Structure 1
Amino acid sequence: MAHRELLHRHRSVMPNWLALYYEEPIEIASAHGRRVTDREGRTYLDFFGGILTNSVGYDVADISDAVRSQIDTGVLHSSTLYLIESQVELAEKIAHQSGIPDAKVFFTNSGTEANETALMLVTQYRRSGQVLALRNSYHGRAFATVAITGIRGWSASALSPIKVSWVHGGYRYRSPFKDLSDADYVKACVADLREVIETGTAGDVACMIVEPIQGVGGFASPPDGLFREFKKVLDEYGILFISDEVQTGWGRTGEHFWGIQAHDVVPDAMTFAKGLGNGLAIGGVVARAALMDCLQANSISTFGGNPVATAGALATLNYLLDHDLQANAAKLGNRLIHGLRSVAATHPVVGDVRGKGLMIALELVGPAGEPNPAAATALLEETRRRGLLVGKGGLYGNVIRLAPPMTLTEDEAEEALGILAEAVEAVSA
């Protein structure tokens, strides 16, 4: 079926607010490695991985075989009311990798649901509905997670089951503190945090939730160590600390397995999803046992941690660890960032190149440094025309996001750099 016909059917039955990329949207029909082929036969190098989800790439035998093996048992589902060996084994591995003492794990279907679960835990544990969140954040599309999303374009409702206070720190490029040194930037953000607690809350705050690198917000991040200093302040008030690792987990940042580890701090809880399933629907929370066990009512997840998802996720996690994809992300991420900064040096439309590992962003700007969403949209189209799929985001829709599968090769990295250089040149012209 041609894309145009499918697009017509899509628009007839799907919501108007369900976003599609490109002036002429495409359907991905098949894939292998880091390449996808659309329904009309065009092949692309994929540098967005289903929104950072296809972490190991496509058609990976180890993962496909694990899923087929589970399907062959006939048990696609049993629910959390029954024991599931792959679920327990996966939880054991995640608890160990988390670094959280006495950790326990609860599985969900998505990152949104993981963050909703974390909020339910901390608000019950602290008996408080007050939450601290970062400006420019994104944590999901459900009721409470929309409330802690600090990007107007992704906040569909002002109604909320929690009271949120906003803190500076995540998005340095357009921060009022952007011209400060790293040390002074951290001091300014810590002072802001303390002032917000003292003036904008009733004191008994449940938690602070942060993304170590703000994903939808355009892969923005503060200097390393900021969240360690935040945690010191939070501890003074008994406020719990949650790290949203939905996009930064599983070694994608290269230097660490979890994004928060760059700040040399252990959170009370972490949420995860996306890359763990390599395309399968799975998310979850890993937290201190006292926090995880605090609920006094019954609670289950019908589909969370189901046998198929956990079998595939366990195979994905083993593949990531056995092939040291974290090291590959560090090496090729450095190459991409270096190459893109060379491009930016001669093209003022690229105001900033930032990121860690295989989580890289280009912020597009106008002549006075103002956000340039039109340039980002044009670059999205230009890369596609040349056979490269990338993502878009940012508070102003002016950031191009690059997050290829962590199995990326050196040749593919160089190919992508060439395409991006040509695309930036075309947009500049």
Structure 2
Amino acid sequence: MPTTPTTARPSGTAPSGRAGPGASVTPDGLLAPDDRPSPDDRLAPDDLLARHRAVAPAWQRLLYAEPLELVSGSGNRVTDSRGRTYLDFFGGILTNMVGYDLPAVREAVERQLARGVVHTSTLYLQRAQVELAEKIARLSQIPDAKVFFTTSGTEANEAALLLATAHRRSNQVLALRGSYHGRSFATVGVTGNRSWSSSSLSPLQTTYLQGGYRFRSSFRHLDDDAYVDACVADLRELLDVATAGDVACLIAEPVQGVGGFAVPPPRLLAAYAEELAGTGTLVISDEVQTGWGRTGETFFGVEASGVVPDMITFAKGLAGGHAIGGVVARGDVMDGLAGRGISTFGGGPLAAVAANAVLDHVLDQDLQGNARRLGAVLHDGLHRAAERLPVLGEVRGKGLMVGLELVGADGYAPDPDAAAAVLEATRERGLLVGGGGLHGNVVRVAPPLTLTAAEADEGLALLVDALEEVDAARR
């Protein structure tokens, strides 16, 4: 849609609906109708960006030199406010897991809306919430599992940390280098990625272990078995010198998401869990990005290591874009809090019916198998591209999680400018991807699980073309 010029406004009001000194305000604190943004204003991308910058925090990042406003979607494609359509290979940071406007999800939400109950809170019985919890408890393989719903992955990890520290009567936590677990006070305190650690203050004492990001690890020269042995030896030393004993938990992502889809050797998490087994330390698997079959290999990422954790946290794709998160944990751990607790919005009626529809669709349509098959197409094609494109230092990930490490001419130095250029080049070609990594030099590719074979081929071709352009421009 073309940009519509902003119309003149009465004296005393600010442009684009922001209240000026003389703007009239209704009793509920809203701008009076004449002072609110018009529909044309809301759809004017340039004006919207200025308004965003005026009211949003500076640290709230937007992608692209000219940020997008996405206004509609269907299948695995989205359309922006200028009418341009894109194949979406990032899915709202892995959240639109079954694409856009899936009939089963839309119809479930519409039925709930027609009943008139949009919200009740966890103070009331909710049939859809109980049904969803039963499914998740069963799929988790955690014995005697119980589920607590939240509204996001950050809140889910916050709840898991509360459960673990209360159960163990300790605020000591083990986390992995390169990890990301959320933006709240406690979860920032266990995030091993300084790009996302906005405060050094924390209610927790965190010790960081070697993780899955081997490209720049001090142990990168080791093969899988030697790497795991070195990591476990390092864990033993850290337990002796950096903790006071009685560690509450280890929290780990089976595949590090914001860290750039870094994948540990298959045995690493199992080796850590085995080493900690005799200490009583709980194991939390952060499945906010790896859950629901996205890795293709297993339904929850941690299953690939053979570990049954004490807790799994989840969020993002479960409700197909509706806000939901949660923790599934051993019953004794979940029941261990001394104080009362509720969730005002967690697992609410709309999110719960949407999540049930999404989960049923994922299982009925074998979307885990789809992630495995089409993920192989993307990985194979990008590995072939890496053989001839020096800018592409490493291709990694699992299933429909693909990380592309972009490097300088020496084949090692991080090149965040190249990653930014790839994001712009893919957008120009009609493809949306994401970024990540400690140094901002990783391109993340994570299409919806409903990706088709034709879309996989199309997206791969566009992505490789963009990489070729960026690589050629550097020579």
Fold equivalence (TM over 0.5): yes
For residue 37 of structure 1, give the secondary structure of its aligned residue in structure 2: strand
Q: Distance in 2 between matches of 1:44 and 1:27?
A: 12
Q: Distance in 2 between matches of 1:59 and 1:108?
A: 23
Select the residue among 258, 261, 268 that pairs with 1:226: 268
1:58-137 superposed matches below 5 A: 58-137=100-179
Q: Does 1:356 align with 2:398?
A: yes
1:267-416 superposed matches below 5 A: 267-368=309-410, 369-416=412-459
Structure 1 residue 209, shift from structure 2 partner = 0.3
Q: Distance in 2 between matches of 1:364 and 1:269?
A: 34
Q: Partner residue of 1:189?
A: 231
Q: Distance in 1 between matches of 2:430 and 2:341?
A: 46
Asked whether the equivalents of residues 142 and 329 of structure 2 are also in contact (C-alpha less than 8 Å), the reply is yes
Q: Distance in 2 between matches of 1:194 and 1:169?
A: 15
Q: Distance in 1 between matches of 2:230 and 2:196?
A: 27
Question: What do residues 140-186 of structure 1 show as CA deviations (whole Å, max 9, x unaligned)?
Answer: 00000000011111011111111101111221111111121111111
Asked whether the equivalents of residues 212 and 265 of structure 2 are also in contact (C-alpha less than 8 Å), the reply is no
Q: Which amino acid aligns with 2:178?
A: N
Q: Which amino acid aligns with 2:203?
A: P
Q: Distance in 2 between matches of 1:88 and 1:29?
A: 33
Q: Distance in 2 between matches of 1:111 and 1:419?
A: 31
Q: Distance in 2 between matches of 1:388 and 1:43?
A: 9
Q: Distance in 2 between matches of 1:337 and 1:178?
A: 21
- List alignment gaps of at least 5 residues for structure 2: 1-42
For residue 384 of structure 1, give the secondary structure of its aligned residue in structure 2: helix
Paired residues in the alignment total: 429
Q: Which amino acid aligns with 2:470?
A: V
Q: Partner residue of 1:56?
A: 98
Q: Distance in 2 between matches of 1:191 and 1:3?
A: 54
Q: Which moved more, 1:310-319 or 1:163-172?
A: 163-172
Structure 1 residue 63, shift from structure 2 partner = 0.4
For residue 352 of structure 2, give the secondary structure of its aligned residue in structure 1: helix
Q: Distance in 2 between matches of 1:73 and 1:182?
A: 55
Q: Does 1:419 align with 2:462?
A: yes
**Post-superposition, which runs of at least 4 consecutive aligned residues in structure 1 deviate over 2 A?**
none
Q: Distance in 2 between matches of 1:210 and 1:426?
A: 36
Q: Distance in 2 between matches of 1:418 and 1:253?
A: 22
For residue 121 of structure 1, give the secondary structure of its aligned residue in structure 2: helix
Q: Which moved more, 1:249-258 or 1:151-160?
A: 151-160
Structure 1 residue 90, shift from structure 2 partner = 0.1
* TM norm structure 1: 0.99
Question: What do residues 247-288 of structure 1 show as CA deviations (whole Å, max 9, x unaligned)?
Answer: 000000001000001101100000000010110000000000
Q: Does 1:178 align with 2:224?
A: no
Q: Which amino acid aligns with 1:423?
A: A
Q: Distance in 1 between matches of 2:366 and 2:238?
A: 41
Question: What do residues 109-136 of structure 1 show as CA deviations (whole Å, max 9, x unaligned)?
Answer: 0000000000000000000000000010
Q: Which has the higher contact order (CA 8 A, sep 6+)?
A: 1
Q: Which amino acid aligns with 1:321?
A: L
1:230-241 superposed matches below 5 A: 230-241=272-283
Structure 1 residue 2, shift from structure 2 partner = 2.6
Q: Partner residue of 2:33?
A: none
Asked whether the equivalents of residues 178 and 211 of structure 2 are also in contact (C-alpha less than 8 Å), the reply is no
Q: Which amino acid aligns with 1:379?
A: V
Q: Which moved more, 1:188-197 or 1:240-249?
A: 188-197
Q: Partner residue of 1:164?
A: 206
Asked whether the equivalents of residues 163 and 336 of structure 2 are also in contact (C-alpha less than 8 Å), the reply is yes
Q: Distance in 2 between matches of 1:255 and 1:201?
A: 35
Q: Partner residue of 2:17?
A: none
Q: Distance in 1 between matches of 2:89 and 2:241?
A: 43
Question: What do residues 304-333 of structure 1 show as CA deviations (whole Å, max 9, x unaligned)?
Answer: 111110010010000000000000000000
Q: Which amino acid aligns with 1:6?
A: L
Q: Distance in 1 between matches of 2:161 and 2:464?
A: 42
Select the residue among 243, 255, 259 that pairs with 1:217: 259
- Structure showing greater radius of gyration is 2
Give the % identical residues.
61
Q: Which amino acid aligns with 2:418?
A: A
Q: Partner residue of 1:153?
A: 195
Q: Distance in 2 between matches of 1:262 and 1:16?
A: 39
Asked whether the equivalents of residues 405 and 443 of structure 2 are also in contact (C-alpha less than 8 Å), the reply is yes
For residue 202 of structure 1, give the secondary structure of its aligned residue in structure 2: coil
Q: Which amino acid aligns with 1:244?
A: D
Q: Which moved more, 1:264-273 or 1:417-426?
A: 417-426
* TM norm structure 2: 0.90
Q: Distance in 1 between matches of 2:371 and 2:257?
A: 17
Q: Distance in 1 between matches of 2:377 and 2:215?
A: 22
CA RMSD of aligned residues (A): 0.6
For residue 105 of structure 1, give the secondary structure of its aligned residue in structure 2: strand
Select the residue among 69, 87, 94 that pairs with 1:27: 69
